[in-house]
A and B are shown apart, each in its own frame.
Chain A
C-alpha cells in the first residue's frame, strides 16, 4: 500500500484516551495509519493555538480525545476542550475551511473500542474532504501565506 496522503494529529489525554488507545493497541486492533498520537495531560491543555498550528503546518485534521464529559480527572478540562474545539471550528468556518477538520471525542480509559471508532470516524471524515492545501504547488503557496491572505498570521492566533 502507498504512503498515506492524509495526516491527522490526535491530542489524547493521559487519563482516558491515550490509555484507551494503548489498550486497543495491545489487543492488536488495526487503526488508520493517518492518525498520529500526541500525549497531553488533559484535553484542557490543548488550546486553539495547538489545533490551528497543526493544521497550518500540514495536518489535514485534528482530533482532541479526552475523558467522558463529567468524568474529567481534573474536573472540567474536557469542557474547556469542547469550548476551544468549537471556537477553533468557528475560526475555520470564518476563513472558509471545513470546521469538521477539528473534532472532539470522549471515552473512558476502559473503552478502547470507542477510541478505535473515533479514529476511523475521523479518518473517514478527512478522507471525504479535499486536501487542505490544494494550491500548494511549486512552493508558491505556503500555509503561512494562506493565513496571511485571510488577514491573520500565526502570531495573532495566540
Chain B
C-alpha cells in the first residue's frame, strides 16, 4: 500500500483542539504511509489540488482522510478518488471532527492521543481496502412521488414537463393535502384554492402523471434507477363512471365528523372531501357504511360497486420523492387548554375551515357552541412547539406566527368591530415580505401580546376565560373570549412515519425525514435515489415547500439524465471457492438478495442490484465466504484492533 494521509484543519474546528503538525508527524510513522499533508479546508479547491498532486507525484493508491464524519463529506472524497482513477474503495476515513475534536474540547491531551488512534485505525483498514466492482443497472425514466399535497404536485408537474413518467401516490381519497383545507395564504392573502386548483387540474389532466389515491407504498426494493415499489390501494366502492353529482351523499343516512373539515362539519359514509377534489369521484367509507343501498338506487351513472377489493400492484421507477407532509400537533395533549373539551377552543387548521368561503359556514365566523357571531378572539401561539415538556415538541413550527397573523387579519376584515389578540412567545416573521405583512396586520388593529397561558376555563355560556401575563409590561390580564384558537404546531404526518419505515429513511427527533446534509444535499435522504421535500422534511411555508419540491425534482432529473445507474460498491459478495453452500445467508437476508445455486456445487450468489449492504449475511457466514464491500472482516478488524 502507498497511502497518503490528509488532515483537515476544518477552519479551526479540528486544529483548534488537535495539534495537527504533531499528528502528521505520528501518521508519517504508520506502515504504508508515504506522505502526509495538512490543509485548512480539505474539501475545498486547494485540498483537492493537494490530494491530486500527491496521488500523481507519490503514486498513491489509498487516501486516508482525517476530517469530518464520513456521513458529511464522504461522497466528496469518494468522488475525487474515482476521478483520480483510484477505484471504488480507495478512501479510508478518520473521523477527527465529530469523532474527536468536537467532543473532547475539554481534554485536548486525551483528544490528541485518541486522534492518533483514529488515524492509525484508518491507515490500518486502508491496507485491506481492495477495489470493488460496480455493475450498470437499467435506469427507468420514471419517478414515484409519495404524497399528493402541494409539494408532491409541484414536483410531479416539474418532472412531467421534463418527460418523466410520474406515479403520484396519495393515501387520502383526493390530492390537495393540507393546503386544500386553507382559506387564504400569507403574506398575500390570496385564496389557497386559487393557486391550488390550477395545479390540481394540471395534475389530473397530464398524461404523464399517474394518480394513485387511497394508496400506500407498502414495499420498496432494488437499487436507484430500478426501484421496485409495491402499491396497495384501498377500494373506493365507486367506479370511474361517477359524474360527481353528489346525489348519493344527499341520501346517505350514515354520518361522521369530516376529516377534511377537521371535525368542523359532518360528512356522509359516501363522500368527497371538497368540490375541486381530484379525482372528482366519490368514495365510500366502509367502516361507516350501513350497506342500505340508498346510494345505489339514486346514482344516475350506476357507479356504486360494493364488490371492489384491496388491490396490490408492483411498479418500477427510477427515483422516489417523499412529500408526505405534516399534521397538526394533537392539541388534546395540552389538557388545560381545553381543546376537545370546550366547543369554542379550535386549532388554526379548524379556524381555516371556518374562514374558508368553501367551508362549512361559508366563511362566516361563528362560535361552534351556539352559532353566535365570534366578536372576541384570542390566539395562543406555540401550542406543542418550542416546548420541551413531555407533551410538546422542541422545534419551532416556523409558520404559526404568520398563520395566526393571517387569520387575525381575515377576522378583522370580515368584522372590523371584532377584537383579536395574539398571545405569542416571540413573534417570528422571517421570510420574504413577512415582517411587512405583520406590521400591516398590526395596523389593522390586531393586538399582539407577549405571554403564554397555562389554562383556559369555560363559562356557563360557552365563553372562555383566560388569564395571561403580559411579559412586556408585567400586567396581568384576565379576559373572556368567544373563541380561543390554538396555534398547534407542525408534526410529522402518519404518512411520513409510514414511508420512513418502508423506505428505511432516517427521521429526526420530531419524526421529520432527515436530509443527507442540511446544506450540501438538503433534499437527498440517506438512501440514494430517494429525495424529500416539503413539510415531510420539516416545518415550512408554502413558497418554501414549492421551492424545495422543485429542487427535489431537479435532483431526480440529475439522476435520470445520467442515462444509466450503477449498483453500490458497498454490497455483499461471495467467494465461491470458500463458500460451503450452507445457505444461512439466504435464510437471513432481509432483501432476498442472496440465492444458493443448485447442488452439487451449491454456493451463494448475491444480486448486487438488490443487496443494500447491511452485512447480516456476512456476520452469519460460518466460513467467511461472504464479505461486504468496504466492511469486510479484514477491514473491520484492522480498524477495531488498533
In the complex with contacts A1-B110, A30-B106, A40-B590 CB distance below 8 A: no
Which of B113, B121, B510, B641 gathers the greatest number of chain A CB atoms within 10 Å?
Answer: B641
Structural contact, A45 and B640, CB atoms closer than 8 A = no
Whether B365 sits at the interface, judged by CB under 8 Å, is no
Residues of chain B with a CB closer than 8 A to A57's CB: 640-641
Cβ contact within 8 Å between B98 and A22? yes
- With most chain A CB atoms within 10 A of its CB, the pick from B72, B113, B526, B614 is B614
**Count of interface residues, chain B, beta-carbon cutoff 8 Å:** 55
Please, how many angstroms separate the alpha-carbon atoms of A2 and B109 in the complex?
7
Contacts of B109 in A (CB 8 A): 1-3
Bound together, the chains give a CA A122 to CA B507 distance in angstroms of: 25
Q: With a CB–CB cut-off of 8 A, which chain A residues contact B507?
A: 108-110
Say yes or no: A80 contacts B103, CB within 8 Å: no
- Chain-A contact segment, one of B139-147, B311-319, B399-407, B629-637: B629-637
When the two chains form their complex, are residues B616 and A11 in contact, meaning their CB atoms are under 8 A apart?
no
> Is the beta-carbon distance between B98 and A42 smaller than 8 angstroms?
no
In the complex, whether A126 has a CB less than 8 A from a CB of chain B is no
Which residues of A100-153 have CB atoms within 8 Å of chain B's CB atoms?
108-111
Let me know if B48 is at the binding interface, CB within 8 A.
no
Q: Which residue of B lies closest to A2 (CB)?
A: B109
Taking CB atoms, residues of chain B closer than 8 Å to A75 are: 590
The answer to whether B237 has its CB under 8 Å from any CB of chain A is no
The answer to whether B104 touches A50, judged by C-beta atoms less than 8 angstroms apart, is no
Whether A111 and B509, one on each chain, are in contact in the complex, defined by CB atoms closer than 8 angstroms, is: yes
Residues B536-591 near A (CB distance < 8 A): 570, 588, 590-591
Contact among B612, B619, B633, B641 for A84, CB-based, below 8 A: B619
Q: A1-B109, A108-B507, A111-B509 are in contact. Are A25 and B614 (CB under 8 A)?
A: no
Interface residues on A, range: 35 or more
Please report whether the interface of chain A is mostly helix, strand, loop or mixed according to DSSP: loop
- State whether the Cβ of B50 lies closer than 8 Å to any Cβ in chain A: no
Bound state CA distance, A41 and B628, in angstroms?
Answer: 9
Contacts of A39 in B (CB 8 A): 70, 93, 95
- A65 at interface by CB-CB < 8 Å: no
Q: Are B633 and A50 in contact (CB under 8 A)?
A: yes
Within 8 A of A (CB), among B609-642: 612-616, 618-620, 622, 624, 628, 631, 633, 636-637, 639-641
Interface string of A7-44 (1 = CB under 8 A from B): 10101001110110110111011110100111111101
Q: Does B514 contact A (CB under 8 A)?
A: yes
Q: How many A-B residue pairs have CB under 8 A?
A: 156
Cβ of A49 to closest chain B Cβ, rounded Å: 7
Contacts of A108 in B (CB 8 A): 507, 509
Which residues of B lie under 8 Å from residue A38 when comparing CB positions? 121, 636, 639-640
Q: By the criterion CB–CB under 8 Å, are A19 and B640 in contact?
A: no
A45 x B105 contact (CB < 8 A) = no
In the bound complex, how far is the Cα of B110 from the Cα of A3, in angstroms?
5
- Does A59 lie at the interface of the complex (its beta carbon under 8 Å from any beta carbon of B)? yes
Contact present for B506 and A16 (CB under 8 Å): yes
CA distance A19 to B114 in the complex (A): 20
Tell me if B504 is interfacial: C-beta within 8 Å of chain A: yes
B619 and A22: CB pair below 8 A? no
CA distance A45 to B628 in the complex (A): 9
Decide yes or no whether B69 CB sits under 8 A from chain A.
yes
Measured CA separation A45–B104 after assembly (Å) = 28
Q: A22-B98, A38-B640, A44-B615 in contact; A14/B71 too (CB < 8 A)?
A: yes
Q: Is the CB of B614 within 8 A of A77?
A: yes
Q: How far is the CA of A54 from the CA of B633 in the complex (A)?
A: 12
Question: Is the pair A25, B102 in contact by a Cβ cutoff of 8 Å?
Answer: yes
Residues of B within 8 A of A33 (CB): 104, 107, 110-111, 113-114
Contact A74:B640 (CB < 8 A) given known A3-B110, A45-B616, A45-B618? no
A45: chain B residues within 8 A (beta carbon): 614-616, 618-619, 628, 631, 636
- Residue B67 lies at the interface, judged by CB distance under 8 Å to chain A: no
Digitize B491-535: 1 where CB-to-A-CB distance is under 8 Å, 0 elsewhere: 000000000010010111111001000000000001000000000
Residues of B within 8 A of A (CB): 69-72, 93, 95, 97-99, 102-107, 109-111, 113-114, 117-118, 121, 501, 504, 506-511, 514, 526, 570, 588, 590-591, 612-616, 618-620, 622, 624, 628, 631, 633, 636-637, 639-641
5 tightest A-B contacts by CB?
A: A45-B615, A74-B614, A57-B641, A25-B98, A44-B616
| Chain A interfacial positions (CB closer than 8 Å to B) | 1-4, 7, 9, 11, 14-16, 18-19, 21-22, 24-26, 28-31, 33, 36-42, 44-47, 49-50, 53-54, 57-59, 71, 73-77, 80, 84, 108-111, 158
Please name 27 pairs of A and B residues whose Cβ atoms are closer than 8 Å in the assembled complex, sorted by A. Answer: A1-B107, A14-B71, A16-B506, A19-B514, A22-B98, A28-B103, A33-B113, A36-B114, A36-B117, A36-B121, A37-B95, A38-B121, A44-B615, A45-B614, A45-B615, A45-B636, A47-B618, A50-B619, A50-B636, A53-B640, A53-B641, A57-B640, A74-B591, A74-B614, A77-B616, A108-B509, A110-B509
